[in-house]
């Protein structure tokens, strides 16, 4: 019988914590606490503490977190914002929808923005830079912050894939003016539907987001402080996320153990580039185990044909989608990544035996 190794297994994950999730559900439903109640406040407090910021504001999605942060920073028409060429499209769309112009910069071997190429993209109009911490590995924030200081730029971190990651102990999402989080089901802290948040040390940014997520309204006074949006994190999702956040430290340890197993099993294959980088102080939490194979599609199709669900994000870089009308300034590393990228199953539900199967299939492909 053909084996099936899913990329993630949300039903199995639920069973790991069923009692706690069901209790959270019963609590919310029996109290009728649906909108902006204690469960949301509790989650926000715990998230802020986990990230290492003063405030967290729950929103409807990671996209909303990015969009709201840009608006809070005063980014708008006439401004340019630096974003990586290799990221999920939402990073860039948030800039466009805030009325500003995205300026794309190529990434480096670790899939994150190439800090050596940022300076070239800065103009008199540059207002902000949005580093993305992809797959659980942070962009080089000491360098990004240095650049931002030199050119007086706002930094907004797209930390949607890196909750729990850090550099020299300082958490992702606590470096810039705001850190942006997604609780999309397949993120490291995933809800049961869309969700997101901003973390910040800036009281004004937190207040702005609190009002704008609720159509601009100050909920104490009823005063509208601007034309806002409807993008509040649901109370029910917050209750579930609060449960899962308690497990996150253990789950990160499990992910690192799986990554180590992959590393041991897969090192020594010349055509594979594994996501183990040599940067002292950087902590990889393996939201994804994303490797590069010189054999590209041939490799990823072979895995799929052997029952292993893999992600190949993104075979077509977002700036190549014509309707987005973006400028391709030449991004050789992003282009190379797009042909070679492949993420193996990485989640807390997978068993060691399943990981060994994945390793054996990969080694089989390479005839080893």
Ligand X SMILES: *Cc1c(COP(=O)(O)O)cnc(C)c1O
Query: With binding defined as CB under 6 A, does residue 8 bind ligand X?
Result: no
* Buried-exposed string 122-139: b where 16+ CB fall within 10 A, e elsewhere: beeebbbbbbbbbbbbbb
Q: What are the structure tokens assigned to 191, written together?
A: 């809800």
Nearest 5 degrees, angle CA 16-CA 240-CA 41?
145
Residue linked to tokens 């590995």: 137
**Of 306 and 338, CB closest to ligand X:** 338
The interface region with ligand X, picked from 70-78, 82-90, 244-252, 260-268 by CB under 6 A, is 82-90
In the complex with ligand X, which residue's Cβ is closer, 136 or 345?
Answer: 136
Minimal distance in Å, beta carbon 22 to ligand X?
A: 25
In the complex, least distance from residue 134 CB atom to ligand X, rounded to whole angstroms: 6
Under rule CB under 6 A, which residues in 295-334 are in contact with ligand X?
none
Contact pick of 75, 103, 129, 132 for ligand X (by CB under 6 A): 132
Closest CB to ligand X among residues 144, 355: 144
CA nearest 245: which of 233, 263, 230? 233
CA–CA separation, 273 and 362 (whole Å): 13
Which parts of 189-248 interact with ligand X (CB under 6 A)? 194, 196
Burial class (CB in 10 A: 0-12, 13-18, 19+), 14: middle
Q: Toward ligand X, which CB reaches closer, 60 or 126?
A: 60
- The residue among 100 and 269 lying less far from ligand X, judged by its C-beta, is 100
Nearest to 241 by CA among 8, 32, 56: 56
Sole window of 23-31, 83-91, 310-318, 345-353 interacting with ligand X (rule: CB under 6 A)? 83-91
Binding residues for ligand X restricted to 62-81, rule: CB under 6 A: 62-63
What is the Cα 139 distance to its own chain's centre? 12
What is the sign, positive or negative, of the torsion defined by CA atoms of 113, 326, 159, 154? positive
Choose which of 112, 161, 288, 338 interacts with ligand X (CB under 6 A): 161
Q: Which residues of 83-118 are buried (b: 16+ CB within 10 A; e: fewer)?
A: bbbbbbbbbbbbbbebebbbbbbbbbebbbbbbebb
Is residue 84 part of the contact set for ligand X (CB under 6 A)? Answer: no
Q: Which range touches ligand X (CB under 6 A), out of 88-96, 101-109, 238-246, 304-312? A: 88-96
CB atoms within 10 A of CB 43: 26
Closest residue to ligand X: CB criterion: 62
182 in contact with ligand X (CB under 6 A): yes
Question: Binders of ligand X: how many residues, by CB under 6 A?
Answer: 15
- Residue 91 binding ligand X, by CB under 6 A: yes
Position 140 contacts ligand X (CB under 6 A): no
Distances (CA, A) of 129 to 37, 224, 272, 281: 34, 30, 31, 23
| Span from 7-15, 38-46, 60-68, 208-216 in contact with ligand X (CB under 6 A) | 60-68
Please answer whether residues 51 and 179 qualify as being in contact, where contact means their C-beta atoms are separated by less than 8 angstroms. yes
Distance CA(344)–CA(354), nearest Å, equals 11
Comparison of 231 and 358: residue with beta carbon closer to ligand X:
231
Residue from 90, 118, 177, 326 touching ligand X (CB under 6 A): that is 90
Nearer to ligand X, 51 or 361 (CB): 51
CB nearer to ligand X: give 134 or 148: 134
Burial class (CB in 10 A: 0-12, 13-18, 19+), 276: middle
CB of 356 to ligand X, least distance (A): 28
Residue 154's alpha-carbon distances to 118, 126, 140, in angstroms, are: 14, 9, 16
We find the least distance from the C-beta atom of residue 132 to ligand X, in angstroms, to be 5
Q: Which residues bind ligand X (CB under 6 A)?
A: 61-63, 87-88, 90-91, 132, 158, 160-161, 182, 184, 194, 196
């Amino acid at each position: 019988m053909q084996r099936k190794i899913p990329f993630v297994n949300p039903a199995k994950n639920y069973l790991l914590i069923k009692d706690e999730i069901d209790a959270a559900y019963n609590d919310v439903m029996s109290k009728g606490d649906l909108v902006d109640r204690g469960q949301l406040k509790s989650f926000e407090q715990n998230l802020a503490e986990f990230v290492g910021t003063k405030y967290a504001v729950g929103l409807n999605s990671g996209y909303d977190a990015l969009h709201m942060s840009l608006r809070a920073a005063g980014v708008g028409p006439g401004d340019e914002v630096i974003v990586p060429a290799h990221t999920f499209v939402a990073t860039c769309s948030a800039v466009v929808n805030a009325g500003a112009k995205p300026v794309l910069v190529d990434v480096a071997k670790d899939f994150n923005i190439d800090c050596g190429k940022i300076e070239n993209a800065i103009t008199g109009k540059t207002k902000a830079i949005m580093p993305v911490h992809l797959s659980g590995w942070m962009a080089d924030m000491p360098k990004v912050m240095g650049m931002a200081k030199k050119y007086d730029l706002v930094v907004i971190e797209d930390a949607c894939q890196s909750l729990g990651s850090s550099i020299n102990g300082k958490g992702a999402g606590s470096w810039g003016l705001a850190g942006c989080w997604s609780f999309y089901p397949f993120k490291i802290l995933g809800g049961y539907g869309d969700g997101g948040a901003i973390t910040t040390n800036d009281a004004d940014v937190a207040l702005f987001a609190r009002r704008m997520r609720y159509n601009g309204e100050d909920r104490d006074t009823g005063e509208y402080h601007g034309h806002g949006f409807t993008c509040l994190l649901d109370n029910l999702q917050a209750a579930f996320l609060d449960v899962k956040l308690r497990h996150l430290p253990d789950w990160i340890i499990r992910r690192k153990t799986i990554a180590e197993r992959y590393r041991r099993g897969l090192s020594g294959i010349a055509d594979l580039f594994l996501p183990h980088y040599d940067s002292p102080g950087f902590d990889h939490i393996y939201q994804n185990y994303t490797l590069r194979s010189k054999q590209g599609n041939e490799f990823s199709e072979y895995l799929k044909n052997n029952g292993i669900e893999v992600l190949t994000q993104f075979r077509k870089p977002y700036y190549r989608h014509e309707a987005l009308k973006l400028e391709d300034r030449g991004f050789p590393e992003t282009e190379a990544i797009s042909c070679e990228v492949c993420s193996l199953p990485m989640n807390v539900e997978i068993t060691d035996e399943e990981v060994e199967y994945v390793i054996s299939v990969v080694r089989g492909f390479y005839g080893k």
